[in-house]
Structure 1
């Protein structure tokens, strides 16, 4: 039976690549919040916390644990904003894959695998899972630990429980987070994650942590937040095993490349087709998205030495191929505009650069990557 993370992650098909706040050095002061996630006074929230305290104690949370957890907690408007404005991403599967299995992510992943090969191999042996899949989940969820998230989990889950859109679910996550503190696995100032409460190197939600996180290094704590990813990687291996991962069975492959069984999936019209197996469904319990499951599977393949996809993608709505979009980005960068990474993904940085370029040329300012802009840059 699948243990379901999908109720939490179903709306996050693209956010696994970018939802977490980049990880600065962690302060030991619980009152430190990352930029844009500062709490604000809210009388309704304070009243809700007072009421919730009795419910939490009734479910076995010690009063001292509760009070310590909420000593510096607060209502975070940006968390509500992020939750209410989750919409289906405008990114195509080609864009998603360009980020999930970028050259940079592949290179960082191969370095991480070399650094932690003993841990990954031990996790694979203990739980009967593919170490490359574990590494790929790590890469997609937090860029191999670089972006674990810095939003205090108590404040984030309490804010969402109080807001009420998914109040029952998040109250359950908040109780689970308090149980984590009560067990001594971490402290309130270290209990940090994404705006939605996903935590650590591989972004466990609190209830999944309680059910499946493991103390792999034997220090008495299931520490998925530490710089050493051992417990986090092992917890991911345990998660996959519990949800039915079949050792030796590939997740799938591009149609015509190695895997003939299973069903066919085409995430983007006109793009490559994939044959997928039961292990693909196991990956979807981590995040209920075809984009995510294929992204993890393809990244794992690339980490293991496989080449890029053989199939091609159609031009985008503005008639540009990925090669065209990369040429446009290179043209802007050559003129001194900051477009971020040349990856063919047209994000806000590239759009801002296009607007600045159009203004400098006396053109209508639209910020649209199209053939007109590309021709001007060539």
Structure 2
């Protein structure tokens, strides 16, 4: 229960922010190719700044790893992607943003719950309404926590009695990132994944996050590391083809699922993973990308989803987002059409869907 005086003080200065509604309604129609996204996510500057951040706060990250069992490079990579190591934490008043979205935006119930969570944070004394700033969508601090994530996973690592993810001091924020991953099953000493090479004649029906097998299974099917070695045994893993059969192949392991809980996008997992590897001194991905592929816009993905469902390949909804349901539907369509069933929704697949949909 939110106390009346807390509510009045917090909401008394809250304002309707029309720009927030406009930004929600006009999110970019265009999607970056995965190779361009990774060039940004793991840029030389971000790698360099990540290494500097770890050197500057070496003792802090050692203690965080000891407490939560999450490697410093991984925590730093999330910090770097979410806020540029604290440089871009956002300046939008969170209460105003959440109240605006709860009243006029889409997903109103979700943002109403987040608004109540933000009020609970204030009631607990962790910050003040004036200091509670962040992104237009309600994400806050160095790790861009939503209020509900703060309530569940933020920690008071410096022992001052407050869980402060907003200040210039990143101590509580980066520890909270580590706690979040730890609570979602991160295993210390295991990678998030690694690049693999697929043999000629590989059965692409086996790819996708919904199919996980151990190293012996993949070994028997000719899957190797990019250096040609047999696969290390880190337990079960799934093969991801972020740009289809013509691009990079990655084996995603258990820790990748912890990253997905932080941000449920395969591109984000790759971004964090590659950035963490490079901060740690390892190489990025080495296989070539299909630079000649046309990347579909969100409206084209929605069109493809509608066409797939109309042809009997249900995508379990039409939202313009490439998810596992859409991947399974694409794979089934590709199989029936005699194409490589990699589950990748390309311009070629869309053109064929239009042809088949028009004839149906």
Confirm or deny a common fold (TM above 0.5). Answer: yes
1:91 and 2:32 are equivalent in the alignment: yes
Cα RMSD for the two superposed structures: 1.7
1:244 and 2:185 are equivalent in the alignment: yes
Q: Contact (CA 8 Å) 1:251, 1:297: kept in 2 or not?
A: yes
Choose the corresponding residue for 2:11, options 53, 70, 78.
Answer: 70
- The equivalences for 1:54-203 within 5 A come to 60-86=1-27, 89-203=30-144
Choose the corresponding residue for 1:265, options 240, 244, 259.
Answer: 240
* DSSP-derived class of the 2:239 partner: strand
- Distance change in 2, residues 1:89/1:125 (3 Å): farther
1:221 and 2:162 are equivalent in the alignment: yes
Choose the corresponding residue for 2:254, options 258, 278, 288.
Answer: 278
* DSSP-derived class of the 1:274 partner: strand
- Distance change in 2, residues 1:127/1:88 (3 Å): farther
Q: Distance in 2 between matches of 1:128 and 1:89?
A: 38
1:312 and 2:253 are equivalent in the alignment: no
- Distance change in 2, residues 1:313/1:120 (3 Å): same
1:191-214: CA deviation from partner (whole Å, max 9, x where unpaired)? 001010000001000001011100
1:259-295: CA deviation from partner (whole Å, max 9, x where unpaired)? 5661111111322110110110110111111100011
Unaligned runs of 5+ in 2: 197-224, 295-360
* DSSP-derived class of the 1:309 partner: coil
* Residues matched between the structures, number: 260
TM-score by length of 1: 0.66
Q: Distance in 2 between matches of 1:204 and 1:172?
A: 14
Q: Contact (CA 8 Å) 2:70, 2:182: kept in 1 or not?
A: yes
Q: Distance in 1 between matches of 2:289 and 2:93?
A: 40
1:25-45: CA deviation from partner (whole Å, max 9, x where unpaired)? xxxxxxxxxxxxxxxxxxxxx
Indicate the residue corresponding to 2:297 in structure 1: none
* Higher relative contact order, structure no. (Cα contacts within 8 Å, ≥ 6 residues apart): 1
- Distance change in 2, residues 1:316/1:75 (3 Å): farther
Q: Contact (CA 8 Å) 1:259, 1:275: kept in 2 or not?
A: no
Indicate the residue corresponding to 1:349 in structure 2: none
Q: Distance in 2 between matches of 1:259 and 1:293?
A: 20
Q: Contact (CA 8 Å) 2:256, 2:269: kept in 1 or not?
A: yes
Q: Contact (CA 8 Å) 2:142, 2:173: kept in 1 or not?
A: yes
Q: Distance in 2 between matches of 1:259 and 1:168?
A: 45
Q: Distance in 2 between matches of 1:156 and 1:288?
A: 22
Choose the corresponding residue for 1:292, options 252, 262, 268.
Answer: 268
Q: Distance in 2 between matches of 1:90 and 1:171?
A: 28
* DSSP-derived class of the 2:283 partner: coil
Deviation at 1:69, TM superposition (A): 1.1
Q: Contact (CA 8 Å) 1:224, 1:231: kept in 2 or not?
A: yes
Deviation at 1:308, TM superposition (A): 2.9
1:187-240: CA deviation from partner (whole Å, max 9, x where unpaired)? 111000101000000100000101110000000000001111110011111111
Deviation at 1:312, TM superposition (A): 1.4
Q: Contact (CA 8 Å) 2:24, 2:105: kept in 1 or not?
A: no
1:81-102: CA deviation from partner (whole Å, max 9, x where unpaired)? 1222235642010011000000
